[in-house]
Amino acid sequence: MPEEQLIFSVPENLTLQDLKNWLLEKRPVEESEPAEIQRVFFDTFDWRLFNSGYVLEISAQKPGYLLTWRELGGGKILIQTAIRQIPRFARDLVAP
């Protein structure tokens, strides 16, 4: 089962320490080492996914990639699957 992603809109003037303090007020938080994640976002030529409130993205994961379809606003993961190569066309996407 995929982990749920939490997405926040953070004011530009909020410091990292202020953000940590705010999160700690809400629930226990564990800090880990920074990780660089490269993501590629997919959509149709007419932005059909975005306009419907969805995001289709691929992130690098060794070995291969992680394909994630999630809701745009809250980040709720709808489907997530490991793939070996980045699809070039819609026909390259296969149902899980």
What are the extents of the domains in the chain? 37-92
Tell me which DSSP letter residue 91 carries: G
Whose structure tokens read 């920074």? 34
Tell whether the torsion through CA atoms of 39, 69, 82 and 7 is positive or negative: positive
* Contact present, 77 and 54 (Cβ < 8 Å): no
The vertex-61 CA angle with 55 and 66, nearest 5°, equals: 30
pLDDT tens per residue across span 60-96: 888 889 999 999 887 889 999 888 888 888 888 776 5
pTM above 0.85, yes or no: no
Over residues 50-68, the pLDDT tens digits come to 999 999 999 988 888 999 9
Query: How many other CB atoms sit within 10 Å of the CB of residue 67?
Result: 21
